[in-house]
Amino acid sequence: MKNIRNFCIIAHIDHGKSTLADRLLDATGAVTDREKQAQLLDSMDLERERGITIKSHAIQMDYVYKGEKYTLNLIDTPGHVDFSYEVSRSIAACEGALLIVDAAQSIQAQTISNLYLALENDLEIIPVLNKVDLPSANVEEVTDDIVDLLGCNADEVIPASAKTGLGIEAILSAIIERIPPPKGNPDESLQALIFDSVYNPFRGVETYFRVLNGEIRKGQHIKFMATGKSYFADEVGTLKLKQFPREVIKTGDVGYLITGIKEAKEVKVGDTITDSKNPTVNMIEGFEDVKPMVFAGIYPVDTEDYEELRNSMEKLQLNDASLVFIPESSAALGFGFRCGFLGMLHLEIIQERLEREFDMTVITTVPNVSYHAYTNKNPDTIVLVNNPSDLPEPSSLNRVEEPYIKATIITKSDFVGSVMSLCIEKRGEITNQTYLTTERVELTFDMPLAEIVFDFYDRLKTVSKGYASFDYSPIGMRVSHLVKVDVLLNGNVVDALSALLHRDNAYDIGKKICEKLRQLIPRQQFDIPIQAAIGAKIIARETVKALRKDVTAKCYGGDISRKRKLLEKQKKGKKRMRQVGNVEIPQEAFMAVLKLND
């Protein structure tokens, strides 16, 4: 056990985590030349295309150091703020972390938040300064930033370049010397922590775990403590590039388990595995249920695919524990699901994965957040509003509370003005402004979560020319003046386009939605009025004009009354058509509401 080291790699997005993991695998001989490729651990097409890590990936390496053989278990984690739940799970399974900072970009918001996650779990932090070979690298300046942040000595920061392989040996020796070996009692009953799971269509659910006490053997009867169900361990083994079956996985080690589970719901990430005959008394603490931040409806384009969509979502949920969904129905779109996501990138990724991995074409409704409403009848009872249609009638409404977040933005001092005006436009209140260096500023705002759901992240990158990094944490609910804005097409409310908005912004946004829809809804044989309304009051209107045949073409000359008669006849027909007419809403119309400022 003293020769095992469990560690993860944490950093802001695009600071070179996956490339560094590649170099560590090369240096320890964990991959052959034939298997080598860039971002080896990012196995999903989407991850490679976008150059981001979406899932944490675990792999085991063997390394000989000063004549002794060591087993290193590495977990490569995502860097985007939306996937911080994946990072928290990986951290719980480790004793140490490599904190990577890009020498050209310096410390970013997610670097700090991941660092705090690691420190809360008492991990040993090894700071690594990556990309020192770049011409734009400020090695001394960024080293000083890391020293200020961690309170360590400058010689503890390892300069490295994942591209050229510089400093890899120093990192490996630091992992072995600085990270403590796992603690645990091999003689106690089995206690193992589930930190991830993936779905294999041929073998069922593969569970990744870390043994804290005792050992797990092939053929053992085991029990999952949160669900209380017992299983037979068909296969256990270690995670190298391929899976290597073993007879036993001992205390402190990381491995995989196959029990032939077919139901996604039965494996809960953060659960404790124990022996069913001789169970442990204590469940492992420190894992929390994920809190979704953004809600949106996902509907199949064809209503008959509803069951298929449910199966696809369950399999996805297994691969991504932070996806939450419940069934719901809409008058405009039929049956579908109300899903909870960690953020807008997460929503985008889930939609992409449904299309790629499961061939499901889906319609996504306008994302919103979860509100608390209180009625005059029961002013102390919370009515949870995840969907604008759940909001009680305005006459019976006492107050509505919306979730607020503490937003931390780190940017260059040149862009402070434009970032501030963006945040104030989004109803943010500045609470703090700190100069980290003469060039870099940290701004802290209290903002409503609903305002950052739409296009905040994209616009922040635009106003700061890509130099702002953003991180947020929830700070509770606050009372707010919210109204429900309905969109009416041809006099009928389209519930999928309804939105809860702040009273001050309702008119502007209602007007923009109508203008956007006018461009996107195809013209029909009749006029289509597009209206935005608060209750019974119409606040904005646009009209999609009808397609008309030139009925007066055959009248050349003659009395005006002949033309008028033909036009009146056409007008009557259009009116009758409008009463029975049905407006088809294209998929782009639902998505366009997200990009109102384009």
16 is in an annotated binding site: yes
Q: Are 2 and 90 in contact (CB under 8 A)?
A: no
18 annotated binding-site participant: yes
CB atoms within 10 A of CB 282: 11
Q: Please give the DSSP secondary-structure letter assigned to residue 463.
A: H
Report strand pairing: 124-130 vs 397-412: unpaired
Q: Say whether 593 counts as a known binding-site residue.
A: no
Measure Cα distances from 190 to 217, 225, 251, 273 in Å. Answer: 10, 12, 9, 7
What count of other Cβ atoms lies within 10 Å of the Cβ of residue 534? 17
The response to whether 426 counts as a known ligand-binding position is: no
Strand pairing category for 294-300 and 362-364: antiparallel
* Residue 91 · residue 121 · CB < 8 Å: yes
Length of the chain in terms of residues written: 598
Instruction: Find out whether 320 is annotated in a ligand binding site.
Output: no
Contact 316, 341 (CB under 8 A): no
Closest CA to 527 of 561, 484, 576: 576
- Rounded CA-CA distance 482/475 in Å is 19
Known binder of ligand: residue 229? no
Distance CA 520, CA 592 (A): 9
| Token pair listed for 305 | 């695919």
Cα–Cα distances (Å) from 182 to 61, 241, 283, 365, 442, in that order, read 16, 23, 18, 47, 37
For helices 416-425 and 456-463, give the axis angle rounded to 10 degrees: 160
Is 133 annotated as a binding-site member?
A: yes
Q: Is 42 annotated as a binding residue?
A: no
**Amino acid at position 134, single letter:** L
Helices and strands, counts by H and E, the chain: 14, 31
Quick check: 96 and 126 in contact, CB under 8 A?
A: yes
Here the tokens at position 293 are 């931040």
Residue 64 annotated in ligand binding: no
479 annotated as ligand-binding: no
Which residues are documented as binding site? 14-19, 130-133
Which residues are documented as binding site for GTP? 14-19, 130-133
